[in-house]
Amino acid sequence: MNTADSLDSSLQTTPLHAWHRDAGAKLVPFAGYEMPLHYTGEPHLKGIVDEHKRCRESGVLFDVSHMGRLRFDGEQSGALLDHLLTRRVSDLPLGRTRYAMICNVDGGVLDDVLVSNVETPSGKRYHLLVVNASNRAKILKWLEPHLADFPTVTLTDRTELTAMIAVQGPRVLESVAKLFRFDPTRLKNYEARVTDQFGKPAIVSRTGYTGEDGLELVVRAEEAKRVWENVLLAGREAGLQPAGLGARDTLRLEAAMPLYGHELTDTVNPLEAGLSFAVNLMNGDGSGRSFIGDEALRSVAKENPQRQRIGLLPEGKRPAREGCDVLNSNGEKVGVVTSGGPSPTLGYPIAMALVDTTSLGEAPMQIDIRGTRVPALPTPLPFYKRTRKTSAS
C-alpha cells in the first residue's frame, strides 16, 4: 500500500498536500481535492477515533484550504451580500463574523457560509465569504449577475492564493497565543481580525466546526507549511496533532452542525434545518428585509416548517447511516437520516434526520438500517456540548 504515490492528477491539492503525503496521511478525494481522511503511524495518531478524541481532550489541526475564500472589496459589498445572504451583512461590525445561508428564490439552501468584516493593516476594509469547497464553482456562478448589479464591488477568489488551517480544541488558544502579536483569547466567539504572524498577514477568527473552542487561520499559500509546522510545534506540549476529514465529520456530527449535501440541500430550507438563527427576516429597525428567498422563508416562518431536523439515538451499536428511512411507530416512513455514525465521545451511535413535523412527539421512532428496523429515540441537539469555562470571554 502506498497512498503517497496515488495522486490522482484530476484532483486539486492544497498548499499542505506534500506535508500530508509525507506524514503518511490516508488521502481521499473530497470535493475535487485530494485531502487527508486521517493520518497513520508515529508520530501521529492512529486513526479517526483517536484524532476525534484528541480534539475533545486537547487539540488538533485541520487543513481546510479546500474551502472557498471569496473577498469582496468596495463600499457596496455589504449591500450586495445583504441581498444574497439570509443574514444582514451591512450592519456587521468590523471584526465580526456571521454564519448565514445563500438561498434560491424558493428558500432552498445553495450553501452555508461564514461572512466576516475585516480590515487590512493598511486600513482597507473588505468582506470575506468562506463557502463550501463543493459549492465554490456554483456560488461563483450564482454571484455573477448580482455582481453586475453592483459594479463598484470587486470579487477576488482568494482560494488558491491562500491556505486555511482550523486549530480546534480546549488547549488550542493557550498553545498558539505565542505565535501572534496579539492575544487571541481576546477574540470573542465569531470575532475575526487580520493580524501579523512572523511578519506575514494572517486572518484569525474564533470559529470552527467541531463544537470545541478554537481558531481558524487564513494565510498566504506560500506561508501555509511554515504556519502549520509552527502551530504543531507550539502545541507540542499540549499534544496538538494533525487530524483529517474523518474526525472533522464525526466532530461536527456530535456538535450537530449541518454539512452541506447532507442536512442542507437546495430542497431544504434553513428553517426546517433548524437554522432560524441564521435567517434575518427583518432589518435592524424592524422593517421587512429583502433578500433572495425572503418571501419563501417568510411564508415558511408563518406556517411553520413541514419538516424538522432532529437527533435520533438508534438502539444498540449499529450506526444508522445517511439515507436510512425513518419510520413512525406504525412503520410508516416519516423522514430520512441525513448523517449518522458512531459517536467516539459518547460511545454509541448518533444520527441526524429530517422528518415530518407531524411525526414529532410520538416516541420512539424506528430507523430502517438496511432491512432491519431499529428503535430510535428522538433526542435534543446537539449530542455533545463542551463545558465552557466561566472565565472565558
Residue 256: CB minimum distance to other proteins, A: 17
The verdict on 1 binding other proteins (CB under 8 A) reads: yes
Tell me how far CA of residue 300 lies from CA of 270, 331, 334, 353, 377, in angstroms: 10, 28, 19, 19, 27
x/- mask, other proteins, residues 19-38, rule CB under 8 A, reads -------x----------xx
The Cα–Cα gap between 129 and 81 comes to 9
Q: Does 211 bind other proteins (CB under 8 A)?
A: no
Contacts of residue 7, Cβ cutoff 8 Å, sequence gap at least 6: 13, 21, 27, 34
| Closer residue to other proteins (CB): 48 or 70 | 48
**Contacting other proteins within 261-320 (CB under 8 A):** 317-319
Contact 86, 279 (CB under 8 A): yes
Assess 3 for contact with other proteins (CB under 8 A): yes
* Residue 249 C-beta: closest distance to other proteins, Å: 8
Nearest-approach distance from CB 56 to other proteins, in angstroms: 15
Query: By C-beta, is 1 or 148 nearer to other proteins?
Result: 1
Residue 5 is a binding residue for other proteins (CB under 8 A): yes
Binding of other proteins at residue 60 (CB under 8 A)? Answer: no
Min dist. Cβ of residue 26 to other proteins (A): 7
Which CB sits closer to other proteins, 258 or 349?
349
User: Cα-flanking dihedrals φ and ψ of residue 342, to 5°?
Assistant: -75, 145
Distance separating alpha carbons of residues 71 and 63, to the nearest angstrom? 20
Nearer to other proteins (CB atom), residue 22 or residue 303: 22
State the nearest-atom distance from the C-beta of 36 to other proteins, in Å.
12
Q: Which of residues 115-144 bind other proteins (CB under 8 A)?
A: none
| Residues in contact with 272: Cβ distance below 8 Å, sequence separation at least 6, in sequence order | 300, 305, 306, 307, 308, 309, 354
Instruction: Rule CB under 8 A: choose which of 214, 246, 293, 335 binds other proteins.
Output: 246
Answer whether 217's CB lies under 8 Å from 206's CB: no
CB 287 within 8 A of CB 323: no
**CA dist., res. 290 & res. 59, Å (int):** 41
Q: Report the site for other proteins in 35-54 (rule: CB under 8 A).
A: 37-38, 47-49
Q: Which of residues 77-106 bind other proteins (CB under 8 A)?
A: none
3 state DSSP class of 358 = helix
Which of residues 46 and 200 has its CB atom nearest to other proteins in the complex?
Answer: 46
Q: Is 156 helix (H, G, I), strand (E, B) or coil?
A: strand
Residue type, 59: G
Q: In terms of Cα–Cα distance, which of 278, 243, 281, 244 is closest to 258?
A: 278
Compose the 330-369 pattern: x for residues touching other proteins by CB under 8 A, - for all others.
Answer: -----------xx-x----x--------------------
Q: What are the residues binding other proteins (CB under 8 A)? A: 1-3, 5-6, 26, 37-38, 47-49, 246, 249-250, 317-319, 321, 341-342, 344, 349, 370
